[in-house]
């Protein structure tokens, strides 16, 4: 198994089906894979969401696999390689496959991506880890759960990902230990809604209990929780993230907007003041805590006053990273049928305004960190340039920290990916930091 399509007989493309740009990127990747001459198979969310329609409109794909194919995916790929025809599935609302009551879902025999169990009679922590890493970097994701029970008007994810299902905590701990043995130093907990973790296992506070257990795994120096729903972010979870040793004081909060009228039309809760209170509660426990969020501009019915309210929130929130999306209709969502659609040129104007403000505010937030001390995990060393990330910088989506030499402290030449160092921030480049390492906190182990 590998990631290089040039030598492959079959190329499996893991598609995304969330927003138009991601869907187009998936199609472009499928077309590029077809140009290699290999057999091409589409899997992932777009393949599940569109099934037969995708197969009919993209003849370059030799097969389109849905989630129900995952339990025997090797046989599906072998069949494609042998020239067998695979009939793509007809999409359905996967929320209907699982019981409405969350605690009854664990007994249901439904295919949920990332939740395969080969031997259900063996305790979770003793089962073989059904995973293979395709890189050797010091950071890896750890899947907490799949699906979502929320009904946000703009989002189609629950329909094709299904209802919310948590993974067994003992299984997660076993996978974390396995990842640590491969050299992983930071775990990034991922799901569609991490704040719901455990509610279907009978304990809605399970994430608060799991975080210190993951942080205590030998070799792991940082655990990062991603995608928290503000309405479900309880004080106990805020405290656990802010105060647990080894857990990044980092809040990836899905605000989406801050104007109450817009949030209600989105079928979401909150307001500028409530969101600011949430951020204040985190910073009261960890003053340098990092925070990021995403926002949608141009949602149906949005007014100029709503945009001004969003700008006020962004100005006061002091977020480290801000993602901005211009609204577009998504198939099968409630928002696609809402009145009050905003003209495309107006959406673009509002989008450009908020993006410009976000870039300015995030750069200012980075400058506020000059003179502070941060803990940096070294990610890569390329031609002498050492790049890593502080606690407030998640991989791929946020900024990074470049380590440079100073009058005293750590020998740069001795640093390796996976080292965790303490560093003093001396400068910025946009949202990125420049820092001088002053102390080795935890050196990466060789030949783990």
Annotated binding residues, as ranges?
A: 148, 152, 155
Query: Cα–Cα distance between 13 and 28 in angstroms, integer?
Result: 10
**Bridge partners of 326?**
297
The token duo for 108 is 């249901």
Q: For the chain, what percentages of helix, strand and coil (3-state, to nearest 5) are there?
A: 40, 20, 40
Residue 43 near residue 23 (C-beta atoms within 8 A): no
DSSP β-ladder status, 420-429 and 432-442: antiparallel
Q: Kindly state the helix (H) or strand (E) to which residue 349 belongs, with its residue range.
A: helix 344-368
Query: Cα–Cα distance between 234 and 236 in angstroms, integer?
Result: 5
DSSP state of 312: H
Sign of CA dihedral 403, 404, 407, 411: positive
Sign of CA dihedral 338, 344, 347, 351: positive
Q: Can you say which residues are annotated as belonging to the binding site for [4Fe-4S] cluster?
A: 148, 152, 155
CB-based burial label for 338 (10 Å; 0-12, 13-18, 19+)? middle
Contacts of range 277-286, beta carbons closer than 8 Å, 24 or more positions apart: 278/230, 278/233, 278/238, 278/253, 279/251, 279/253, 279/317, 279/318, 281/235, 281/238, 282/238, 282/241, 282/242, 282/249, 282/251, 285/238, 285/239, 285/242, 285/243, 285/249, 286/242, 286/243, 286/249
Phi, psi dihedral angles at 290 (to 5 degrees): -90, 155
**What DSSP letter does each residue of 103-116 carry, written as one string?**
GGGGGS----TT--
Residue 156 near residue 50 (C-beta atoms within 8 A): no
């Amino acid at each position: 198994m590998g990631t290089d399509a040039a030598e492959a007989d079959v190329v499996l493309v893991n598609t995304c089906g969330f927003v138009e740009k991601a869907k187009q990127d998936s199609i472009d990747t499928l077309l590029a894979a077809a140009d290699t001459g290999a057999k091409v198979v589409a899997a992932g969310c777009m393949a599940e969401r569109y099934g037969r329609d995708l197969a009919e409109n993209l003849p370059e794909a030799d097969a389109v696999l849905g989630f129900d194919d995952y339990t025997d995916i090797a046989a599906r790929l072998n069949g494609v390689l042998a020239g067998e025809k695979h009939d793509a599935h007809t999409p359905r609302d996967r929320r209907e496959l699982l019981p409405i009551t969350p605690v009854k879902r664990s007994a249901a025999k439904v295919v949920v991506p990332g939740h395969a169990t080969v031997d259900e009679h063996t305790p979770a922590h003793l089962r073989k880890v059904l995973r293979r890493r395709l890189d050797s970097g010091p950071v890896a994701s750890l899947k907490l759960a799949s699906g979502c029970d929320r009904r946000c008007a703009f989002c189609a994810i629950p329909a094709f990902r299904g209802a919310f299902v948590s993974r067994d905590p003992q299984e997660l701990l076993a996978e974390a230990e396995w990842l640590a043995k491969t050299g992983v130093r930071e775990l990034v907990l991922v799901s569609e809604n991490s704040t719901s973790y455990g509610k279907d296992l009978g304990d809605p506070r399970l994430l608060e209990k799991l975080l210190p257990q993951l942080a205590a795994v030998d070799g792991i120096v940082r655990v990062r929780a991603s995608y928290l729903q503000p309405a479900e972010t309880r004080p106990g979870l805020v405290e656990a993230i802010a105060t647990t040793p080894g857990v990044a004081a980092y809040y990836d909060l899905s605000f989406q907007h801050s104007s109450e009228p817009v949030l209600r039309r989105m079928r979401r809760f909150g307001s500028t003041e409530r969101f600011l209170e949430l951020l204040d509660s985190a910073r009261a426990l960890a003053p340098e805590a990092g925070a990021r969020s995403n926002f949608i501009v141009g949602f149906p019915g949005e007014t100029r006053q709503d945009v001004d309210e969003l700008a006020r929130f962004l100005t006061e929130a002091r977020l480290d990273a801000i993602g901005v999306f211009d609204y577009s209709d998504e198939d099968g969502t409630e928002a696609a049928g809402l009145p009050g659609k905003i003209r495309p040129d107006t959406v673009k104007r509002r989008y450009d305004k908020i993006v410009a403000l976000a870039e300015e505010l995030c750069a200012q937030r980075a400058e506020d960190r000059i003179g502070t001390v941060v803990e940096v995990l070294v990610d890569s060393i390329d031609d002498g340039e050492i790049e890593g990330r502080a606690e407030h910088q998640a991989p791929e989506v946020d900024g990074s920290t470049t380590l440079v030499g100073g009058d005293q402290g750590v020998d740069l030449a001795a640093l390796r990916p996976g080292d965790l160092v303490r560093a003093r921030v001396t400068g910025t480049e946009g949202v990125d930091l420049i820092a001088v390492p002053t102390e080795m906190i935890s050196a990466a182990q060789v030949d783990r």
